[in-house]
Structure 1
Amino acid sequence: MTATEEIIEYLGDQIVSGKYKPLEKLPTERDLAIQLGVARGRVREALRGLSMAGLIEIKRGNGTFVKPSSEWMNSTTVKWAFCGQSASMEELFAVRDVLEKGVYNLAFDNCSNADLLIIEKDLSLISEHIKSDLSTYADCLDRFDLQLAKVARNVMFLSLFQALIILRRRNVEAILALKGSREQSLQLRKSIYTSFKNRDKKQALDAIDNFFDKAQQFVTDE
């Protein structure tokens, strides 16, 4: 995990957990850099990532403010922000890192036997359509991932995740166009499902970390 990703994960957790309240002004970039022991540039990148996720608003000259939770659900705003020329694959992965890991971790804690059956069916659907057209296969991945968000049983996380699925779609399709990416996307989700089925929290956390490490490595190698 990069320094920027670590900052995003830390601040994202602080916001979602309520330490920083809606409309509250965050510490300055300088103060955050001192507090976290990192360069101001890293803090600036992290704040941009959180802004893309819709969690904060950066007001030039006035500071950075936590957005009302109702606006976190605005997928149109998130998609618009991501599609700007300043958005990068690294920023997308940073946003996915804090949101998706949180969702999957909570999903593990709340997953029932009935949930496992649905997840298994969604996994089978991915396998069945691995040779289908790009859009259909991407839909299957979204279906599986969204089901995990539902299993988390957190309305806020679900709303954010729905927005993130829209935000990430273009890049997911770009990755899936690369050789071997479909097989990897299926295998990584199999690992997550298996860890849930085994009720092994460490295995689940390792599978989730591996999910993002492999995805980022795949893009970097290409």
Structure 2
Amino acid sequence: MEITPVKKVTITEQIMEQLATQIIDGKLAAGEQLPTERELAVVFNVTRSRVREALRALSLIGMIVIKPGEGTFVSDNKVLIPDKTITWIYHKELNNVEDIYAARQLIETDIYLSCFDRANRKIVAQMRKLINEIAADGWRKISSVEFLENLNNLDLYVGSECGNGIYFKLMQTLVLLRTESSIKILNSSAARKSAIMHREKIVCAFEEESRELLEQRLNEFFEDSLKSIIKK
């Protein structure tokens, strides 16, 4: 019989979880001011000290910004979510590779298509620059961590330019969730070569201004990724 140790959830953690969920779901928008500590204490039916602890913790992981004399605000959409935030929210899912893959296919496809719909020459030129950095001489010699960082730079850029702040946060989430499995896979030169090839084709679809081709390239990418996961 497998047993998972029971985790005691404190009042402070419960407040954090509720506020974090509101932010992640978009019910609290970027830049929106939160109620005062006194008001939150009344809503949660707790002491102000508990609210203060929860707000400080959320500020440390980058979800909110506390401005002395002004109030507490939800972090801007363009601000990268700290790794600790994502790890804390999704700690139970970090080892579920197939679920992470399914989420990637659904969300990353929409993010890339959304970016395509609003892409201009500047965006496409930056994507070309980033793919050239991924495929630069020496890609076989760098560590899998460094290679993954180059891949992440492209995906995060696309997320930042897709025109949807929630999508950008989701891309940041997926980038972190896939880290452990990707590092292992990218120890293989064949996997790196495949990653370069697929992203090159995706960027070319942007350059050719073909949404239909982009959808095809994205499907090919995820089909091949699924095959590699199943083999592992």
Counterpart secondary structure, 1:84: coil
Q: Which residue of 1 aligns with 2:22?
A: 68
How many residues were matched structurally? Answer: 157
Separation (CA, whole Å) in 1 of partners of 2:196 and 2:206: 16
Q: Name the counterpart of 2:150.
A: 140
Taking a change above 3 Å as real, the CA distance of residues 160 and 123 of structure 1, as seen in their structure-2 partners, is same
- Partner of 1:156 in structure 2? 166
The answer to whether the aligner puts 1:106 opposite 2:60 as a matched pair is: no
1:181 partnered with 2:205: no
Which ranges of structure 1 fall in alignment gaps of 5 or more residues? 1-66
Q: Structure 1: which amino acid aligns with 2:153? A: R
Q: Contact 1:122–1:144 at 8 Å: present in 2 too?
A: yes
CA RMSD of aligned residues (A): 2.3
From the CA coordinates, give the structure whose radius of gyration is larger.
2
> Structure 1 or 2: larger helix share?
1
Unaligned regions of 5+ residues in structure 2, if any?
A: 1-20, 27-62, 64-80
Q: What is the TM-score with the length of structure 2 in the denominator?
A: 0.61
Alignment of 1:34-73 (within 5 A): 67-70=21-24
Q: CA deviation at 1:165?
A: 1.1
Q: Is the 8 A contact 1:134 1:177 kept in 2?
A: yes
Contact 1:78 1:164 (C-alpha < 8 Å) held by counterparts: no
Q: Distance in 2 between matches of 1:216 and 1:82?
A: 22
1:73-96 alpha-carbon deviations (Å, 9 max, x no partner) = 776454246543784211110111
**Aligned partner of 2:101: which letter?**
F
Match of 2:67 in 1: none
Instruction: Give the secondary structure class of the aligned counterpart of 1:199.
Output: coil
How far apart are the structure 2 equivalents of 1:208 and 1:189? 9
Distance 1:88 1:215 in 2: 15
Q: Partner of 1:125 in structure 2?
A: 133
Q: TM-score with structure 1 length normalisation?
A: 0.64
